[in-house]
Structure 1
């Protein structure tokens, strides 16, 4: 059994590494956004990546999911449309809503970025056993649900 001080030290170490992961993710979002379009902000990149990965959506769903103000989502989606990365059309079921979809151009560049990121992740995880990767995945799943 681990004593309380050791457990606290392990938790502090874990939290410090999580902070580094979040900082790296933020830098990666900024870098990826610039690769998609030089004027794209990281928040717009995250919205676009979500839409491309999950399919058509509405701005209010994005605002709820990312805990963003609807006006911020509106600004980002308008910029994405201006850059030719996002299309919008009236929702067939509710004409008050707009359906947002990633353009083929956006899907292509995002697929390239995903492939590069997957290669980087495989390289990093290559030193772990499949059991260790599974355990890490379980930890991240639990944290995502917390």
Structure 2
């Protein structure tokens, strides 16, 4: 192997390592933002409950079984989080019309209002960061995130 090829492989390895490091930082930042957002919705809300609540609000409704599947969580963990969300007045449940054993979960109007406010703030923060990128750079970044999401 020629010296140029060895240097090129080293550059790729170094770039890949830096990419992994940056991706880890993005995940750490996301966890931090979830914790902050959960506390802003309610001081007793845990990040895992916040993630379930945002999913339910975005979907319009869900049941505990679907949440457990989507988030790869144990049903008992989902049940505890759902109970807490209900106790905090952020979630309502009713029997499923198709299967009375299931409960249909919906975000309360107060939860939706709080989530909408956070969504607007977060969109503004993200737009502020992305304004530094060209359209082509944003499209490339979007492609990278899509490919990662499809792993």
Normalization by structure 2: what TM-score? 0.94
Q: What are the superposed Cα offsets for residues 50-74 of structure 1, whole Å, 9 maximum, x if unpaired?
A: 1111111110111111110000000
Question: How many residues of Structure 1 are paired with residues of Structure 2 in the alignment?
Answer: 146
CA-atom RMSD in angstroms: 1.1
Q: What are the superposed Cα offsets for residues 5-46 of structure 1, whole Å, 9 maximum, x if unpaired?
A: 111111100000001001100000000000000000000000
List gaps (5 residues or longer) in structure 2. Answer: none
List gaps (5 residues or longer) in structure 1. Answer: none
Cα distance in 2 between the residues matched to 1:4 and 1:52 = 46
**Residue pairs, 1:6-85, within 5 angstroms:** 6-85=11-90
The residue number in structure 1 matching 2:122 is: 117
Cα distance in 2 between the residues matched to 1:130 and 1:27 = 28
Cα distance in 2 between the residues matched to 1:15 and 1:117 = 24
Normalization by structure 1: what TM-score? 0.98
